[in-house]
Amino acid sequence: MAKTLLLAESNEEVRKMLRCILERSDFRVLEAQDGREAVQLGRAHPGAIDLLVLDAVLPPLTAPQLAQHMMALRPELKVIYMSGYTEDILGEQQLLLRTVPFLQKPFSPSLLLDAVRAALAQQQRS
């Protein structure tokens, strides 16, 4: 059965590209353009959401705020952060980035898929 991912990315072109990569690898993708839309999707989606893939800078919420909201709704949810900013620019989020998988943009499709599969495998072991 295909795993469902919630992809939250504010840049439409990047979001479409990531969705295409993920769907070609047989993942179901729910997509949100901002943090509020991601929370709404998380509440409204009737089935499982296996993984949250989100940009670390996603106004109006920070990545930690969005992850916290989503994990309150779905405690089993795993998270991957991605950003074009370097870790030192991310400031207070840097500590969280050390405990959650982080993809530095730009990244290759294979790196994205490896990170997604690793996070899903970790979820199955938990």
**Strand order in 4-8's β-sheet?**
28-32, 4-8, 51-55, 78-83, 102-104
Tens of pLDDT along 60-105?
887 778 888 898 989 889 999 888 865 554 455 544 555 678 888 9
CA distance 33 to 98: 25
CATH code, 29: 3.40.50.2300
* E strand intervals along 2-72: 4-8, 28-32, 51-55, 57-58, 61-62
Domain count, the chain: 1
Phi-psi region of 26 (alpha: psi -120 to 50; beta: other; left: phi over 0): left
CA proximity to 8, closest of 80, 110, 109, 95: 80
Tens of pLDDT along 7-47?
999 999 999 999 999 999 999 999 999 999 999 999 999 99
The first and second tokens of residue 74, run together, are: 């779905």
Give the residue numbers spanning the domain of 87.
Answer: 4-125
Looking at residue 95, its pLDDT comes to 46
DSSP state of 91: G
pTM of the model: 0.88
More confident residue, 59 or 113: 113
CA distance 72 to 64: 12
